[in-house]
Amino acid sequence: MSKIHILKFGGTSLQDASFINQAVEVVKNTSRKARPFIVVSAIAGVTDRLIALSKIPAGKSAKANKSLSELRNLHTDLLTRLGGSTAECFEKLNALFDELRGTYFDDHLRTAKPGAWRDHILSIGERASAHLFASVLSARQLPSVPVETQHYIKTDATFGEANIIPKLTRNLLADALNSLDKVAVITGFIGSTKHREITTLGRSGSDYTAGLIADALNADHLEIWTDVDGVLTADPKIVPAARNLEYLSFEDISELSAHGAKVIHPKTIHPIRERDISIQVRNSHQPQQSGTLIKRSHASNGDFRSLTVTGPYVYFEVPDPLAKDFSELLEQQTGAESGSDGFSFSRISRFEPAQFVIKEEVFRELKDNIEHLADRKGIEPVISENLYRVNTFTNKLRQSDLAVTQILQLLYKKGIRPKRIHREPNRRYFSLLFPETEARRAANLINEYLVSDTNRTDIFLAGVGAVGSKLLQLIDEFNSEDVSFNVIGLCNSTNTLWNNRGLHSADLDNGLDKGGQTDWPAIVDKLIGGDWHHTIFVDATGSEEVARLYPGLLEAGIHVVSPSKLANTFEQSYYDLLREKASAKGSSFRYETNVGAGLPIISTINDLLDSGDSITELSGVLSGTMTYLFNKLEEGTPFSEAVLTAKKLGYAEPDPRDDLSGEDVARKFLTLAREIGLRIERDDLEVESLIPGELKNLDRESFLERLPEFDEYWRNRLDEAASKGETLRYTGKLKDGKIRIGVESLPMNSSLGQLKGTDNLLRIFSSRYSETPLIIQGAGAGREVTAAGVLNDILKITKEH
Q: Which residues bind Mg ion (CB under 5 A)?
A: 10, 204
Binding partner selected for residue 169 from ligand ASP, ligand ADP, Mg ion, none, CB under the kind-specific 5 to 8 Å limit:
none
Say how many CA atoms lie within 13 Å of 121 toward its Cβ.
Answer: 31
* Binding footprint of ligand ADP, residue count (CB under 6 A): 19
Residue-level length of the chain: 801
28 is an active site residue: no
Residue 289, φ and ψ in degrees, nearest 5: -90, 150
| Binding of residue 237 to ligand ADP (CB under 6 A) | yes
CB closer to ligand ASP out of 39 and 433: 39
Contacting ligand ASP (CB under 6 A), which of 113, 182, 203, 419? Answer: 203
Does the N-terminal peptide bond of residue 312 adopt cis geometry, omega within 30 degrees of 0? yes
Ordered strands of the 3-9 beta sheet: 144-147, 183-187, 34-40, 3-9, 221-226, 278-283, 292-295, 247-249
What amino acid is encoded at 415 in this protein? G
Contacts of 572 by beta carbon, 8 Å cutoff, 6+ apart: 674, 679, 680, 681
Beta-bridge mates of residue 727: 746
Contacting ligand ASP (CB under 6 A), which of 36, 84, 125, 271? Answer: 125
Tell me how far, at minimum, the Cβ of 255 lies from ligand ADP, in Å. 12
| Binding of residue 204 to ligand ADP (CB under 6 A) | yes
Roughly what angle, to the nearest 10 degrees, separates helices 61-82 and 114-139?
Answer: 20
Pick the closest to residue 626 from 701, 690, 696 (CA basis): 690
Q: What is the largest CA-CA distance in the chain?
A: 121
CB closer to ligand ADP out of 248 and 464: 248
What amino acid is encoded at 125 in this protein? G
Tell me how far, at minimum, the Cβ of 10 lies from Mg ion, in Å. 5
Beta-bridge mates of residue 619: 733, 763
Are 287 and 341 within 8 A, CB to CB? Answer: no
Stretch that binds ligand ADP, among 10-18, 352-360, 438-446, 717-725 (CB under 6 A): 10-18
CB closer to Mg ion out of 155 and 257: 257
Q: 481's torsion region: left (phi>0), alpha (psi -120 to 50) or beta? A: alpha
Contacting ligand ADP (CB under 6 A), which of 130, 263, 608, 680? Answer: 263
Task: Out of 167, 668, 696, 724, pick the active-site residue.
Answer: 668
CB closer to ligand ASP out of 155 and 786: 155
Contacting ligand ADP (CB under 6 A), which of 49, 262, 273, 347? Answer: 262
Tell me how far, at minimum, the Cβ of 11 lies from ligand ASP, in Å. 5
Contacts of 235 by beta carbon, 8 Å cutoff, 6+ apart: 242, 261, 262, 263, 308, 309
Stretch that binds ligand ADP, among 232-240, 366-374, 611-619, 663-671 (CB under 6 A): 232-240
Contacting ligand ADP (CB under 6 A), which of 135, 226, 486, 623? Answer: 226
Tell me how far, at minimum, the Cβ of 228 lies from ligand ASP, in Å. 14
Residue nearest to ligand ASP (CB): 206
Contacting ligand ASP (CB under 6 A), which of 26, 42, 142, 198? Answer: 42
3-state secondary structure of 9: strand
Are 587 and 554 within 8 A, CB to CB? Answer: yes
Are 592 and 675 within 8 A, CB to CB? Answer: no
* Binding footprint of ligand ASP, residue count (CB under 6 A): 13
Are 617 and 690 within 8 A, CB to CB? Answer: no
Roughly what angle, to the nearest 10 degrees, separates helices 624-634 and 711-722?
Answer: 80
Beta-carbon count within 10 A of 796 CB: 16
Positions in 735-764 near ligand ADP (CB under 6 A): none
Contact code string over 45-84 relative to ligand ASP, x by CB under 6 A? --x-------------------------------------
CB closer to ligand ADP out of 224 and 791: 224
Say how many CA atoms lie within 13 Å of 366 toward its Cβ.
Answer: 22
CB closer to ligand ADP out of 146 and 205: 205
CB closer to ligand ASP out of 152 and 189: 189
CB closer to Mg ion out of 126 and 448: 126
| Binding of residue 189 to ligand ASP (CB under 6 A) | yes
Would you tell me which residues interact with ligand ADP (CB under 6 A)? Answer: 10-13, 41, 204, 226-228, 231-232, 234-237, 261-263, 306
Catalytic residue annotation: 668
Would you tell me which residues interact with ligand ASP (CB under 6 A)? Answer: 10-11, 41-42, 47, 125, 188-189, 203-207
